[in-house]
Every structure is written in structure tokens, then in C-alpha cells.
Structure 1
Amino acid sequence: MSLRLFDRLDSTKTQYYHFKAVIVAGMGLFTDAYHLFSIAPIMRLLGHVYYKSNDHQFQPAVESSMLAIALLGTAIGQLIFGRLGDLAGRRRLYGLALILMMVGSIGCGLSMGTTRGCVLASLGFFRFVLGVGIGGDYPLSATIMSEYANKRLRGAFMAAVFAMQGFGILASSIVTMAVCKIFGRIYPLSQKDPTPKQADIAWRLILMLGVVPAMITFYWRMMMPETARYTALVEKNILQATWDMERVLDMSHSQITEGHTLQPSQSSYPLFSKQFLQHHGRNLLACSTAWFLLDIVFYSNALFQSKIYKTYLRDEDPSKNVTAFEAAFEVASLQAIVACYAMIPGYIAAIFLIDCIGRLRIQAVGFIFMAIVYFCIGVPYDKYWKHHINIPFMILYGLTFFFANCGPNTTTFILPAELFPARFRTTCHGIAGAAGKAGAIIGAVGFLMASQDDGQNGYEKALGMRITLIILGGICVVGMVLTSLFTKETKGTSLEENE
């Protein structure tokens, strides 16, 4: 099958549709980050509403379950939607993933029941539904952007899609702070009861507002045509692929059919066959392992910044009478600060560097610098940091997010959408992403348990944090070493060449 349209896709100039695709695909990642990272301040509000007799603190098992269930749903969604994306098409599943996110967002805010157990069970169920939708969005967004982009700037466009995650984190913090400030001023608080009944409305409103960006882009998603690569290579409909390209790119039919011919692979081996494992098994293992290791580190830190910065949180001191709104505001403000000075700059740096430096190099460098920073704050933790989490510590800790985002957090999202054939692309991305979310569950739950105060003396507690930070640094070293397992750098290459 000789096709010229892939050459036209790879060599076309940057057009309006490319930027539109970044926004449409990126809104899924935006919504994903909004909900996954808004849970920390939400848990503060829930603690004040439903755990008044326990210093407003959740039991570790409850908090861990609430975090893990959304990540579990994400992993399941990545596997299911990843496979269906190759069988039924990217576009057909794209709207369904967004619908699940919208249903989950609204359902979380409308969590039913009048008792603590009913509300938490309902919230957990809808966070699972939300997670399935989020998981489905990962392989579809990455693959759609990779199949539309030209090969010269494909990495930058995909990194831009993933960078929307950083703005989702910032948006969740801003919305939380705004809601808490507004509710705090409208409803005067009593010193006897610093948790008004309106606090139960505030956390629901914060979660439901996360549906807005998904609703805005739903129509655009429904209007997107199937990618030309899927239509031509999987459905074998060259004419339809050409028409679809004419709809979205500023090209005539004659321009699309001009150019150098490419010869896509004619192989027909099934998924997980001997031939598949020979050609792609090593890449799949490397992608999955790198994502697994990265998410252990990234999610354990990102979801529990408030545990790291607890020195700055008045709510951690039982002697201080902190209102529910003030407690959530403080956690959200810390997340916003870290997002502004570390997370978002890392995403932006990745956009500009990834097509210059290459995927593998930026991933290896990101891992090793993350390891260095973790060792710098972990090894001397009990001597320098356990009593005063000061500005130098915050700067160093923030650098772990910068190097993650300008490194493996971005590349693990990009590489699986470039390394595999069109008929396995979303499936393999979903498998790698699900491995990552398994690591996220381990990291989030394990880090929470390590940071709990079980009545031990200060030194033993600090030792637990010290060991945790050193372990995270060691995981980054392993990730850097395993990056060498990737057999091919995808910078500047056609997706068909990678097959």
C-alpha cells in the first residue's frame, strides 16, 4: 500500500487545527489534574465536616482508599479505552471518555447520604467513575495528537497537550481558594463551631466546577474526524482518510496526493503474538516500567504536598482554632505556589526542549536530577529539615517537580504514542499508562503511611521521612538506568518509520 498522505501529514506546516487539537485534547488532561489534585484540600474540608471528634483528621486507611480508588479507575480506563481505541477508532471513544468524566465530576459533588459512611462511599464510587473516564482520555488524547502532528514538532504538540495538566492543578487550587474565601466571608463563623454546615456545600461545589472545561470542549470533540492514520492503516479506507485531511488541514486533494511515497508495514500479526513481542515487547516493557517508576515518585509527592509542608499549616496544630475554609485554603495555596514556580515552568521547558534534545535524553536527565535533589533533601533530613521546613527546602522540593515535568513525566506520556503501530497504538499506551497508575497507587498510599504520626518520637518520624525521600531518589536512579532499554529515539521520525 503506497501512501503519500502520511508524508503530507509529516511535512505540513503548523496550522490552526494543530493548536485547536492541543486545546481539545488537553482539556481531558486539565480535567484529570483538576480532580486528582483537588483531593488534598477537599480532604481537609471533609475532615472538618465529618471528623470533628478526631482533630479533623481522616484515618490513614480512609484517606488512602479515597486516593487509590480514583487511580484504580484511571488504570482500568486506560486498559479498556486503550484497547477499544484500536478496535473501534479513536474518535468514537473520545466523547464517551469525556461523558464519564462529566458524570463523575457531577456525581462527586452530589455524593448522597446524611452519614459519614454513606457520603464517603458515594464519593468513592463516583471518583472511580471519574477515574475510568480520565484513564480513557490518556491513550486517546496522546494518540490523536501524535497522529495529527507533523514530525518536526510532534513532541512539542504532545508536550503542550500534557502541559494542560499543570494548568489543571493550578486551576483546582485557585477555585478552591476562591470558594473558601467567598464562603468564609458570606457565612460568619462561631468560635464554638469553626465548621459551618455550608462547608459541606463548599467541597461539593469545588468538585462540580471541574466539569466546566469538559463541557466546553465536548462539542469540538464530537466534531473531530477520525485520524487519517487510523482510517488509512487500520480501516484501509484511503479515500476517507484523504477527505478527512481536507476537512481539518489547509490542503487540497491534489496537495495531499503529491509528495514522496511511504510504505507502511503490511504485517498482520496479532497483539501479544510472538512477532509482536519480538518487534515491540522491549519497547512496551520499557515504556511501562519507566511510567511505573515515575508515577511512584510523582504522585506520592504531588498528592501529599501538604504533608511535606505541614510546618506551614496551622491545621496541623490541635491547639489552634482553624476553620474548615482556612484549612483548605492553606493547602490549596501551597499547591498553587508549587504549580507556579516549579510544575508549570517544567511543562513549558519540555515543550521547547523535547524536539531539540530528544525524548530519551530528556527523560534520563530528568530522572537523574530528580534523584540528586531527593538525596540532597533526604540524606540530611533529620539534621537540617525535620524541625524547620524552610524556604531552601521548599525550593529544592519544588525542583523535583520541575525536573519530572521537564523529563520523564512528559516523555512517558509521549513515547508510547510514537513507538507502536497504528493498530496497537492506543492499546500499548493504555498498558503503559495503567502500569504508571499502579505505581501511583503504591506511591500515594505508601507515602501517606510513611508520613503518618503513629505516636512515635520526633526522631523516628523524621527517620521515616528521611528513608522515604532516599527511596524516591533511588527509584529515580533505576528509572534513569532503565531508560536505556528504549530501542529507538523517536525525535524527528515518522510514526510509520517507527513501525
Structure 2
Amino acid sequence: MPRQQLQVLNALDTAKTQLYHFTAIVIAGMGFFTDAYDLFAISLCTKLLGRIYYHVEGAAKPGTLPPGVNSSVTGVALVGTLAGQLFFGWLGDKMGRKKVYGMTLAIMVICSLASGFSFGRERRSVMACLCFFRFWLGFGIGGDYPLSATIMSEYANKKTRGAFIAAVFAMQGFGILTSGIVALVVSASFDHAFSAPSYATNAILSTPLQADYVWRIILMFGAIPAALTYYWRMKMPETARYTALVAKNAKQAASDMARVLQVDIEAEEQKVEVISQDTRNSFGLFSKAFLRRHGLHLLGTTSTWFLLDIAFYSQNLFQKDVFSAIGWIPPAAKMNAIGEVFRVARAQTLIALCSTVPGYWFTVAFIDIIGRFAIQLMGFFFMTVFMFALAIPYHHWTLHDNRIGFIIMYSLTFFFANFGPNATTFVVPAEIFPARLRSTCHGISAAAGKAGAIVGAYGFLYASQSSDPKKTDAGYPPGIGIRNSLIVLGVVNFLGMVCTFLVPEPNGKSLEEMSGENEEDEVEQTTTHRTVPV
């Protein structure tokens, strides 16, 4: 039997869409804009780093990063993100969302700038310095996941809560798009001013000294949007659900939300006291009571996010390798260093513009209409279909006349990732767990996702670049490693579809309904039942 909701929380649940909703989306969303920019911009720079620091004098081909260095440069930020999600998710429940929110943004700004200033006399020193700062950059990014999702869910009304949380996450699409645009502008500017034509006869000689500035500028640009929102992030009041249900300060919660909603709200201190004494809602993380009520939910959110990120980050971080394998990007020996950055950035920008960004906003438009479960199941299903459709007839698609078809199919996997599980796995963990554990459980779910991203970043790197020498000698075309990788990703997406059945549907329900926090104590229910006259 549900307990009567606190007035301040009921006011939030039933509030009409107002300016403060959009303000919260922009403030929280700019963090995700920066997150995506920083995580995916590195994929635009790895080929350039190989040319600058690993070219062997007199070699017939441009230099490339060794697989171990490439995976470290690409994946170390993901390792930091995983650690940050667990740490800041836990801290957000202990100290409050707002107090921790500023820490994550400051780390992101400092480490974005520091990544561009990576120094050293030898290439080993530069790579080590870059990896060090990108780890801590990822650590700050990791904190943004549970905190942004939790803050937005606790500010939103229950009618459009899914759309508001998804809109915060959709800023990730603009971050990916902007990373490509910035790389295009920077590379085009330097290519025009300093380098030889993009298709030089001897591309090895076309790596000007100024190329070292290109990757540094691209990485440092990520500090700008984060720095611009720091002031406004610090002005946001703490969420009423944390203040009332976790900090037990009814007066402060009512005062903060009265100012935000511009209405009078009563400070129900006695009701908060009753809620705080309810033993049914005092269980700890991974206790028997938690596992009984939310164990399968946490398994569902962690498993689906883990499987989704294996596929999603593999696709994003190594799409340049896929495009090279099908011939959409010319061989490195036919381009100078900066021209290659331009080509890779153009391909990534087109994919982001035509499929990634629209996919996010389709989710925003439909998530509160058809629900989280349906969107996630549909997304995994179509990702599975398109992966197998690319992989099984792979050699057919890689023929010259079929490249456009391959790109269209490949783009559709990005569309249904974002109009699907990439958005819903972020939304649902912020809605189904108790307020005192919400940030922690979202951090655990997100960390499981980043574990999948690490598997994708390291595993897909080796899988896509390797091929069986015996098969190659026997006449198999190059790129057999990418084909097998696409098959594996198809299987991964199918498993994600199966695990989706563990995740509940929070559409149209209040956060307290989903978490069970507004349920009356069993003793109280029994007493009430006994006093009813016959």
C-alpha cells in the first residue's frame, strides 16, 4: 500500500515543463557533450600520433602506433571512466549530488588541457604522459555519468522524465559530432597553411612539424564547453529527493524547490521523520533485502550496459579501421599526415550527422510514449540484424560497387544503438533504485558498461587488425579479422536483447513507486487492517 507522497516530491512529479527543466538539461548535458568529445576525439588522432612518433626513417610506409600503444592511448580513458563511475557514484550518495558535481567538471577541464600539453623528449615519454592525463580525464568523466543522470531524474516530472534524462544523454551525440567538426577545421587549416597536397607523391615526407599541434589542439578543445558550464553547475540547488530522503532535511528541500518551482511548499518535517524511521527502507547495498527487491534489476542494468558498450565503443573507436578496410578512406601512403586526419574526421562526422545524432533524439521523442523496454529491445534487435547483415556477406559489401551499401548498413547500427540501448541503459538505472543508493547503483551499472567498452577497445583492436596467415596465403582477402569481429558483435547484441527482459519498465511511475520507498511499513499495514470494523 503506497504511503502519501511528500508535498515537495509530488510538486516535482506533477510540475509542468518549465524553464528550470531545460536549464538543468543544458547544464547536465554540457558535461556529456564534453564526455563524448573527449572519449571519441582520440580516435581521430591515433593515426597522426603514429605518423609523428613512430615513423621509421627510410621506411616504405608511414608510421603507425604499435597495437599495445594504440590500445593504451585509446582505452586508458575508459579505464579511468570506470573507476570514476564507481567512486563518484558512491560519493554522490554520501556527500550529495551537487557537492561532487563540481569536482568532476574541474577534473575534466584540467586534464583536457593537460592532455594537449603532454611533453617529453622521447616518444615513450609523450605517450606515457598522454596516457596519464587521459586516465584522470576519464576519472572525471566517469563521475559525470551517475551524477548527471541522478540529478536530472530527481529534478524531472514523472510524465516526461525519460525524455529529460535522454536529452541529457543525447548531448553525447553533439559531442561526437563536434569532435569530428573540430578535427576537420583544424586539419584543413594546417593542411592548407603548412603541408603538401593531401595526395602527395611521397606521403611519408608530408608530415610537417606543425602536425604535432593538430592533435594537441583537438584534445584541448574539450576543456572549453566544460569550463563554460562550471559556474551554472555550482549554482544548482541540491535535489529535493537527496535533501529530504537521504539528508532528512525537509525544510531545506522545501526551500530549494519552492525557489526552483516558484510555488509555496510546506516543509513536512514530521513526515520525513516517519519515512526515516521506516526499517523497510534502511537496507544496505547488496544486503539480502536489496538483492530480493533490486538484485535482478541491477543484474539487468549492468549486463545490458556491458553488452551494449562492447558493440557501441568498438564501432565508434575503430570505425576508421572499418572504413579503411572497405576502401572508403584511401591507404595511408596516398595521404599526408594532416590530410589523413581530415579524411577520418569527415567520415566520422558524416556518420554522426546522419545516424548517431538523429538516433539520440528519436529516443528523446518516443521514450515516454512507447517506453524504455520497447526501445531497448528494438535497438538490440536491429543492431543484431544489421551486424549479421554486414558480416555474413562481408566480401560482397567490400567490393567497390557495394561500399555505399555497406556504409548505409553500418550507419543504421549507430542509429539503432542510439534509438535503443545506448540511451535506455543510461536512463533506467537513474529511475529504479532508492534515493540513498541511486547514484551508487547507476555508477555500478555505468562501470559495467565501461568494462564492456574496455573489452571492445582492446579486443576489437586486435581482432580487426589480425588475420590468419594461412587463410591469407590461401587467397582470402584482407580484412577477415573485421568480418569475424562483426559476427562477434552481432552475438553480443543478441545477448543484450535477452538480458533486456531483466529490466523493469519505469514509464509513467514516480521514482518512489519504482524503488518502493513510498510503501508503508508491514507492521503499519497489519495494524490498519485489524482496526477496520467488520
The alpha-carbon deviation at position 383 of structure 1 amounts to 3.4
Structure 1 portions without partners, runs of 5+? none
The alpha-carbon deviation at position 372 of structure 1 amounts to 0.6
Distance in 1 of aligned mates of 2:403 and 2:336: 24
Distance in 2 of aligned mates of 1:132 and 1:87: 18
**Does the aligned pair in 2 maintain the 1:451–1:461 contact within 8 Å?**
no
The alpha-carbon deviation at position 101 of structure 1 amounts to 0.5
1:374 to 379, 384, 387: 387
RMSD of Structure 2 on Structure 1 (CA):
2.0
Amino acid at match of 2:246: V
The alpha-carbon deviation at position 388 of structure 1 amounts to 6.0
Q: Which residue of 1 aligns with 2:89?
A: 82
The alpha-carbon deviation at position 386 of structure 1 amounts to 5.8
Distance in 1 of aligned mates of 2:396 and 2:193: 45
1:169-218 Cα offsets, whole Å, 9 max, x none, are: 01111111101111122224496731111111121111111101001100
**Does the aligned pair in 1 maintain the 2:8–2:265 contact within 8 Å?**
no
Question: Which stretches of structure 1, 4 residues or longer, exceed 6 Å deviation after superposition?
Answer: none
The alpha-carbon deviation at position 405 of structure 1 amounts to 0.3
Answering whether residue 370 of structure 2 is matched by residue 362 of structure 1, we say no
Q: TM-score normalized by structure 2?
A: 0.89
Q: Which residue of 2 aligns with 1:468?
A: 485
Q: Which residue of 1 aligns with 2:222?
A: 210
Answering whether residue 290 of structure 2 is matched by residue 276 of structure 1, we say yes
**Does the aligned pair in 1 maintain the 2:431–2:514 contact within 8 Å?**
yes
Distance in 2 of aligned mates of 1:165 and 1:13: 26
The residue matched to 1:459 in structure 2 has which SS?
A: coil
Answering whether residue 207 of structure 2 is matched by residue 195 of structure 1, we say yes
Answering whether residue 253 of structure 2 is matched by residue 247 of structure 1, we say no
**Does the aligned pair in 1 maintain the 2:258–2:265 contact within 8 Å?**
yes
Distance in 2 of aligned mates of 1:390 and 1:141: 39
Amino acid at match of 1:408: P
2:54 to 41, 51, 54: 51
The residue matched to 2:480 in structure 1 has which SS?
A: helix
Segment drifting more, 387-396 vs 235-244: 387-396
Distance in 1 of aligned mates of 2:264 and 2:405: 57
**Does the aligned pair in 2 maintain the 1:453–1:461 contact within 8 Å?**
no
Distance in 1 of aligned mates of 2:206 and 2:81: 35
Distance in 1 of aligned mates of 2:477 and 2:149: 44
Q: Which residue of 1 aligns with 2:531?
A: none
The alpha-carbon deviation at position 104 of structure 1 amounts to 1.1
Amino acid at match of 1:324: A
Segment drifting more, 454-463 vs 31-40: 454-463
Q: Which residue of 1 aligns with 2:181?
A: 174
**Does the aligned pair in 2 maintain the 1:385–1:393 contact within 8 Å?**
yes
Q: TM-score normalized by structure 1?
A: 0.95
The alpha-carbon deviation at position 330 of structure 1 amounts to 0.6
The alpha-carbon deviation at position 465 of structure 1 amounts to 2.1
Q: Which residue of 2 aligns with 1:308?
A: 322
For residues 316-331 of structure 1, what are the structure 2 equivalents within 5 Å? 316-318=331-333, 320=334, 322-331=335-344
Q: Which residue of 2 aligns with 1:491?
A: 507
The residue matched to 2:222 in structure 1 has which SS?
A: helix
Distance in 1 of aligned mates of 2:374 and 2:275: 27
1:85-108 Cα offsets, whole Å, 9 max, x none, are: 000000000000001101110110
Distance in 2 of aligned mates of 1:96 and 1:108: 18
In percent, how many aligned pairs have the same letter?
52
Amino acid at match of 1:7: N
Answering whether residue 50 of structure 2 is matched by residue 19 of structure 1, we say no
For residues 363-442 of structure 1, what are the structure 2 equivalents within 5 Å? 363-385=376-398, 390-442=403-455
The alpha-carbon deviation at position 460 of structure 1 amounts to 6.2
CA change 1:401–1:147 in 2 (3 A) is: same
The alpha-carbon deviation at position 317 of structure 1 amounts to 4.4
Distance in 2 of aligned mates of 1:125 and 1:348: 34
Distance in 1 of aligned mates of 2:18 and 2:494: 40
Answering whether residue 297 of structure 2 is matched by residue 297 of structure 1, we say no
The alpha-carbon deviation at position 323 of structure 1 amounts to 1.6
**Does the aligned pair in 2 maintain the 1:309–1:389 contact within 8 Å?**
no
Distance in 1 of aligned mates of 2:146 and 2:212: 35
The alpha-carbon deviation at position 473 of structure 1 amounts to 1.0
